[in-house]
Amino acid sequence: MMFTNKELLEQWANDAKRREFANNYSVWGVWFTQPELGLAFYKYDLPGGGRLIAMEYLREPYSHERDLRAEDAIQCHKLYLQPGKYFIPVSASEHEIAEKLKKLKETLSKEQKQRDRQCRKCGSKCFQHKQDGSVHCAFCMSVQ
């Protein structure tokens, strides 16, 4: 599932929500499974490049988890941050992912403000950026 930039801005509003986004990986949709190993992978392609990957796996209970039978499996997951083209199998902490999402949120927020910007004179959202660095309204040609 892909989210719009506005939805991502809401979901990445604060640190707790960014961590929740990463841990709620099942809404991203299954990317692929490896049934022989009991693995399921989920991915979310980040705006501007990069990807979040979650690997879901089963493990046997530890000996101190006495309320579970030995044949009961416990579902676990690891999160990965793929910054470029190639996947590096080094798990990322929630903190690393939250910081990456925070930086992406700041970028998306700036882009959204540019899109929502209106001309002070005519209310148009169409701007022309000139070589001298000035910004003009495409309709009324007023300098912004």
pLDDT tens per residue across span 50-77: 999 999 999 887 766 566 565 678 899 9
Helix, strand, coil percentages for the chain (3-state, nearest 5): 30, 25, 45
**What pLDDT is attached to residue 29?**
93
* Paired sense of beta strands 74-82 and 135-137, if any: unpaired
**Whole-prediction pTM value?**
0.74
Beta-bridged to residue 32, according to DSSP, are 41
Spatial distance between the Cα atoms of 33 and 55, rounded to a whole number of angstroms: 9
DSSP-assigned letter for residue 46: P
Confidence band (pLDDT; 50, 70, 90) for 95? very high
> Are the beta carbons of 124 and 137 closer than 8 angstroms?
yes
Find, among 28, 32, 26, the residue nearest to 8 by Cα: 28
Query: Is 44 in a helix, a strand, or coil?
Result: strand
